[in-house]
Amino acid sequence: MKRKWTLSDILLRLAVLLIIIFILAPLLVIIGASFTETGHLIFPPRGFTLDWYRNYFNDYGWMEATRISLYMAFVSMLCSMVIGTITAYSIDRSRRRNFWMSFFVMPITIPTVVTGLAMLRFYVALDVERGFLVLLSGHVVFITPFVIRTMCASFYRFNVSIEEVSLTLGANKIKTFLLVTLPSVKSGLIASSFFAFIVSFGNLAISIFLTTARFTTLPIKIYTQTRYSSDPTLAAVSTFVVLMSVIIMFIIERKSNAENLF
């Protein structure tokens, strides 16, 4: 027997459809504009060409910015995974779990511009020259709360009795943590690592305060180019970033069951 649609069902589906269109429309415009034959951004695109993608992959400036962003995101992800996983494990074993959880996740609620400016003033006060390590510290501070949030959810669902069995059989705490605990929360590790990578790769607000001309990340270069040019290469670069993010999210969905982590 077919279920009759009520007015509330229709309005709900219409609202969901409008939200999806609102979210995806800007992305579709950028993707479409990346194939235009004109020398400036325009939608709908006029003609079809891959020249702007060739410009992106053949331009040293764009490739160098992409390399720096990928390297920065990878190193930041590794650092945040180590710090965030250990912190989340300690929080889960703490009697004041909710308090420490709120404390360490608090940077997520602070506007990134404020965080970037605060870190800039901090390093200026210490008379530390901006460079790779300073930029790395900013990214780690920003993305570690995402790792902590995800890993806390994973450890919360972890069966502690497995650790107790390992300790009873003679394994020490470090060996138990590395060989028993971490493999049991593998889905959380995969999801948090990819989330950390994406957030670090696309970060602009903190990077723009802590970077120098020697370490121009891809988001900063995109932002700079938009101020002085309407070259469709910008759309090609943005499409590449969107495609990479979609692939990563697809991997998370297939490999880690991320929907069960939150």
In this predicted structure, the answer to whether residue 59 has a pLDDT above a threshold of 70 is yes
Which tens digits make up the pLDDT trace of 155-164?
Answer: 888 777 777 7
Which tens digits make up the pLDDT trace of 23-46?
Answer: 888 888 888 888 888 777 777 778
Q: What angle do CA 43, 250, 256 make, to 5 degrees?
A: 155
Max CA pair span of the chain: 74
pLDDT of 255 reads 61
Which tens digits make up the pLDDT trace of 104-151?
Answer: 888 888 888 888 888 888 888 888 888 888 889 889 998 999 899 888
Which tens digits make up the pLDDT trace of 224-236?
Answer: 887 777 778 888 8
Query: What is the pLDDT of the chain when averaged over all its residues?
Result: 83
pLDDT of 39 reads 74
Contact by Cβ (8 Å): 39, 51:
no
pTM of the entire predicted model: 0.80
What is the distance between the alpha carbons of residues 192 and 158, in angstroms, rounded to a whole number? 16
Contact by Cβ (8 Å): 223, 241:
no
What's the number of CA atoms in the CB half-sphere (13 Å) around residue 135?
26
pLDDT of 262 reads 44
In this predicted structure, the answer to whether residue 75 has a pLDDT above a threshold of 90 is yes
What is the distance between the alpha carbons of residues 109 and 201, in angstroms, rounded to a whole number? 19
Nearest to 261 by CA among 156, 180, 138, 145: 156
Which tens digits make up the pLDDT trace of 230-253?
Answer: 778 888 888 888 888 888 777 766
Residue 180 DSSP SS3: helix
The alpha carbon of 31 is separated from its chain's Cα centroid by a whole number of angstroms, namely 21
